[in-house]
Amino acid sequence: MQVGIIANPNKQGAAHTITALTVVLQQHGIATELEHDTARIIGAESPSNASDLAKSCDVIAVLGGDGTMLNAAHRIGPTDTPLAGINIGTLGFLTSCKDDELHLFAEGLLEKSYKVVPRIMLKSSVIYADGKVDTDFAVNEITLSRGQTGRLISLDAYIDGALLNHYHADGLIVSTPTGSTAYSLAAGGPLISPIAKAFVITPICPHSLTNRSLVLDEHSEVELVTAESSECASFYSIDGREVIELPSDARVQIKKADHQLHILRLKDRSYFSTLREKLHWG
């Protein structure tokens, strides 16, 4: 078995965890391959980029938190290779274990006492008036918001070609089940089992109290358009990354992506135990 390693260089303790993980895996007879930016953290060299690891490794260990996992998923691109998050610091929803559980991680790989959980992702297509189309995918969510202005935006949302609603709000979130514990939750959206075949539309601070989150089945197709009556431009972002101001005549089409994100879970670890711990449930 070979494990690829990607780490967040901005995490305090990243260098220590990279070295410790490499040593522990080698002690268990597991080969390692560092992504080139990760190698530099410990003063080493590697020719491999993130997508190379997906081709040459059986598992990719991602050292950091949920944000590092999101970033790694985008850098790696579509792959069936599972990602195992090793949390440096606080508990994460997407991580498999903490940085003081490296022996458990190595033993789990060696004994194959883990399972790989597929998570649905979203494909987003921004269609411009001149016919240009920009596509990307989301692990957590796709957001249209009002940016830094104090004004509300107006958005028309269509489901499978039929008008759903005219939203007057700070914005709108289209979230995967994975993202239901992220921005959508902060905006009042529901928690959804990570393996559910669904996604959810959640308005951000809607002007009307009758506007609520809506859970859709995985085959639904969503289209978002900035209404002519909107007081300001819409700003588009995926997974909290780069924010782009959209022209008023651009359309955003969203549907389930053709590929999934594969998350490695160790034996006796579950999403619900993480949820209980993270949300301080009894």
Catalytic residue positions, numbered? 66
Burial call 163-202: b when 16+ CB within 10 Å, e when fewer = ebbebbbbbbbbbbbbbbbbbbbebebeebebebebbbbb
Angle at 185 between CA 226 and CA 123, to 5 degrees: 50
**Residue at token pair 């903490």:** 98
Three-class SS of residue 24? helix
In the beta sheet, which residues pair with residue 87?
64, 98
168 is in an annotated binding site: yes
Q: Which helix (H) or strand (E) holds 165?
A: strand 162-169
- CA–chain centroid gap for 141, Å, is 7
67 has binding-site annotation: yes
| CB contact burial 255-273 (16+ within 10 A = b; e otherwise) | bbbeeebbbbbbeebebee
- Residue 141 assigned to a binding site: yes
Q: How many CB atoms within 10 Å of residue 40?
A: 13
- Annotated binding residue 170: yes
3-state secondary structure of 220: coil
List binding-site positions.
66-67, 140-141, 151, 168, 170
Q: Known binding site for NAD(+): residues?
A: 66-67, 140-141, 151, 168, 170
